[in-house]
A and B are shown apart, each in its own frame.
Chain A
């Protein structure tokens, strides 16, 4: 068969489109997982938290987080009577080894675990100049480690202080909501290790997920709601003094 010039002109774009798909590979490496069926969130039932630091240790083990850096950490709040604007917060080594006895005797004292809020309208992904960080189609804020320049825009943009530059790779690093676990049907390392059930992973697109009942029956708040980041870290029993 001879290929006429006219025929070639028709075939070339079609071949180019096909080749693009061949090279692109499959983005969903995990079998039996469909991104469209998930919209991930985290529920944190604060009155259950005992500040044991199991979540922090589990996160560092699972994700090889360097010492002194945290993808999740626990803060201890002390609020004196009528001093809601001035809470005293400490978090020795991110709460990784628990908390020493408090210097305070009275007032209100409680723990607050923190992690990436996996915002639906995240400020951090909007400032990335190279498209290295993004909200995945299933609602997890991720960093493409091979694409990140380490420019630190996103570290400054996150209003929750959840990002850092990994000193080993010089790229932005943060909680992935254990994306490598949740796509395999497991829960996150922090939820797995939490002994009191304070932390619960939730799939908002699953109508059978217990989070829907919980959100209906409890007073729930997100951090810094005035920033309208679309945070998906839901805190039950959150005190107004928490920043």
Chain B
């Protein structure tokens, strides 16, 4: 029976090792790891908390009611404001200082309307330099409601 002491000492060493493992593990593994699966659940909240750049057209229409009205009657009614004007979350937060850049229709409109063989056949396309002779598109077309008749009689 005097040899039983060896077993107890061995068991104590294993126990110490186990405790050390559990302590180190609890320090190294993030607290939220494993809540939903084999990952850190708090990462979801961190990604969700990132700031936005595009405010969304509902926010724009809150102030720019005239443009929204005009746009809602034309063929561009489905085109969101920031599709052309770019990301405007900063402007929406602070309209005084963050001013959107003025757009150049000569380069803006052809992004969508320059003729390309791969575009749907029903989509209105022109060869821009040939169509306008170099003039800016908004010489004739009002971008928010681009049909010529609606803009007031340019033939």
Contact of B117 among A20, A102, A192 (CB under 8 A): A102
Binary CB contact string for chain A from 36 to 64 against chain B (1 if under 8 A, 0 otherwise): 00000000000111111110001001100
Is A66 part of the binding interface, using a Cβ–Cβ cutoff of 8 Å? no
Minimum distance in angstroms from A92 CB to a CB of chain B: 12
**A148 — nearest CB in chain B belongs to which residue?**
B43
CB < 8 Å neighbour of A131 from B38, B52, B114: B38
Q: Of the 9-residue stretches A159-167, A178-186, A202-210, which lies at the interface with chain B?
A: A178-186
> Does A28 lie at the interface of the complex (its beta carbon under 8 Å from any beta carbon of B)?
yes
Q: How far is the CB of A227 from chain B (nearest CB, A)?
A: 22
Instruction: Return chain A residues, CB-CB under 8 Å to B47.
Output: 142, 176, 179-180
Q: Establish whether residues B36 and A137, one from each chain, have CB atoms under 8 Å apart when the complex forms.
A: yes
Question: Which residues of A from 65 to 83 have beta carbons under 8 Å from B?
Answer: 76-78
Q: Does A132 contact B (CB under 8 A)?
A: yes
Number of interface residues of A (CB under 8 A): 62
In the complex where A25-B32, A27-B41, A144-B40 touch, is A195 in contact with B112 (Cβ < 8 A)?
yes
Q: In residues 31-70 of chain B, which contact A (Cβ within 8 Å)?
A: 31-33, 35-54, 56-57
Asked whether A58 lies within 8 Å of B38 as measured between CB atoms, the reply is no
List A residues at the B interface (Cβ < 8 Å). Answer: 20, 23-30, 33, 35, 47-54, 58, 61-62, 76-78, 97-99, 101-102, 104-105, 109-111, 131-137, 142, 144-147, 176, 179-181, 183-184, 186-187, 189, 192-197
